[in-house]
Structure 1
Amino acid sequence: MKKTEKEKMLAGELYDAGDKELITRWHLAKKLMKEYYAADTSNRALLDSILDELLGSRGENVWITAPFYVDYGENIHLGNNVEINMNCVFLDCNKITIGDNSGIGPNTQIYAVTHPVMPSERLTMSEDGSFSFWKSYTAPVTIGSNVWIGGNSTILPGMSIGDNTTIGAGSLVTKSIPANCLAYGNPCKIVREIPPAVP
């Protein structure tokens, strides 16, 4: 049976981002982001209802400060007590999972999608010469529990960050980082171990 473009996307295969199903969800996500940004920040019931429609899943006590930017939203899964500060960008063309008690600093960007390096593989032309999206492929990003990602950090596709780890501000995470450590830099490297969180 032939895979849909969404199934290809979530499987990490090259896919067509201009597919009707994907574009329809993309537009819905943009509508919901706009509603979230415009909502009264003291109206938790309204904010939570928008997040329930935008996100794939969320735990209790999730706080996201607008503006918050996503591709689809439905591939984002957040645990309990997650805080995401303003101006974060989550390109959730594959799963982005964040565990309990984790925080994401402002201006952080999490990419679960990328493009082929070779222009011949990346670029396509539509039959009628109209605009055509670049070819893309994806890999999930997993962030554990009790993690703090400092502001202005960038996390690339396929990365995982272990429980209890802190990523310093301005880091570029190009390799997965294990649990129980402090890491920072461009590229992000382990600086020292830190003790795990008290249960």
Structure 2
Amino acid sequence: MKETNIIAQNAKLDASCKIGYFNVFGENVVIGEGAVIGNNVTICPGTVIGKNVYIGNNCVIGKQPRLSKTSTIKNREPLQPLQLGDDCTIGENSVLYAGTTLGNNVFIGDLASVRERCKIGNYVVVGRGTAVENDTSIGDYTKIQTGVYITAYMNIEDHVFIAPMVTTTNDNFMGRTEKRFKYVKGAHIKKGSRVGGNSILLPGITLEEESFVAAGALVTKDVPAETLVMGVPARPARKVAEEELLPQE
């Protein structure tokens, strides 16, 4: 182990791990066999990292949140430590928060962040520079591309595709009135749905299974299953072609 690292005495690192320089590993950290940790990585106390995980340079893993004095979210520290499944890749300069779990074979791109109390399934891709806000769930095999903003309190199911630069929202009152707390909610994107680049989803809408949002659309209402919507505001244009639907299980 390189002398440039600061590692808590009760941290548990498998002997097969490869560790870079200038890292800080907190108390009760657990790192599984075959893990590769880059340089200048901070792994916060209690974080559990599975087998064959790659963590790039300059990452912060398992951070406890600190909120602004004007935040509408109540601070519920300390949260349970972050848990990373096996065979995950965490790109350079990414930040993952406590209270969140990642399944197996998750890919987090460079400069991405995943906030607290999120549940990320297996084989999920979170693209470069994408932000996943708190209290969001993402299902298995979902792909979220570069520069996407996933707002808090979203539910994204399995096999969803979200193209680059998509924006999602959760507050129709834009921070005004006490009434907003009752209704704050992100979109529910159901299995197999696809969201085109640079589109915007307004708060609380539902995209039913296998729906398709065209690039640049502004989605203000629920989208029916297997339906393509497009425009500003988005309106139904046609049914999704049968050849594009997911195979029946």
TM-score by length of 2: 0.52
Alignment match of 1:139 (pick from 169, 185, 191): 185
Aligned residues: 152
Aligned counterparts of 1:78 and 1:135: Cα–Cα separation in 2:
28
Structure 1 unaligned regions, length at least 5: 1-15, 26-34, 124-133
Aligned counterparts of 1:140 and 1:20: Cα–Cα separation in 2:
15
Shift of 1:99: 1.2
Larger Rg: 2
RMSD: 3.4
Shift of 1:55: 5.5
Equivalence for 2:141: 81
Amino acid corresponding to residue 161 of structure 2 in structure 1: G
Aligned counterparts of 2:220 and 2:114: Cα–Cα separation in 1:
31
- Quick one: structure 1 residues 78 and 20, their matched pair in 2 at CA, closer, same or farther if it must change by over 3 Å? closer
Q: 3-state SS of the aligned residue for 1:21?
A: coil
Alignment identity in percent?
A: 20
Aligned counterparts of 1:81 and 1:20: Cα–Cα separation in 2:
29
* Aligned positions of 1:63-142 closer than 5 A: 63-70=125-132, 73-92=133-152, 95-115=153-173, 122=176, 136-137=180-181, 138-142=184-188
- Quick one: structure 1 residues 45 and 96, their matched pair in 2 at CA, closer, same or farther if it must change by over 3 Å? closer
Aligned counterparts of 2:166 and 2:74: Cα–Cα separation in 1:
28
Amino acid corresponding to residue 81 of structure 1 in structure 2: Y
Alignment match of 1:38 (pick from 86, 93, 98): 93
Give structure 1 regions of 4+ aligned residues with deviation exceeding 3 angstroms: 19-25, 44-48, 50-55, 134-137
Q: 3-state SS of the aligned residue for 1:182?
A: strand
Aligned counterparts of 2:76 and 2:238: Cα–Cα separation in 1:
43
Aligned counterparts of 1:24 and 1:17: Cα–Cα separation in 2:
17
Aligned counterparts of 1:155 and 1:74: Cα–Cα separation in 2:
17
Point out the structure with the larger strand share.
2
Shift of 1:113: 2.0
* Aligned positions of 1:108-187 closer than 5 A: 108-115=166-173, 122=176, 136-137=180-181, 138-187=184-233
Note if contact 1:79-1:101 (Cα within 8 Å) is conserved in structure 2: yes
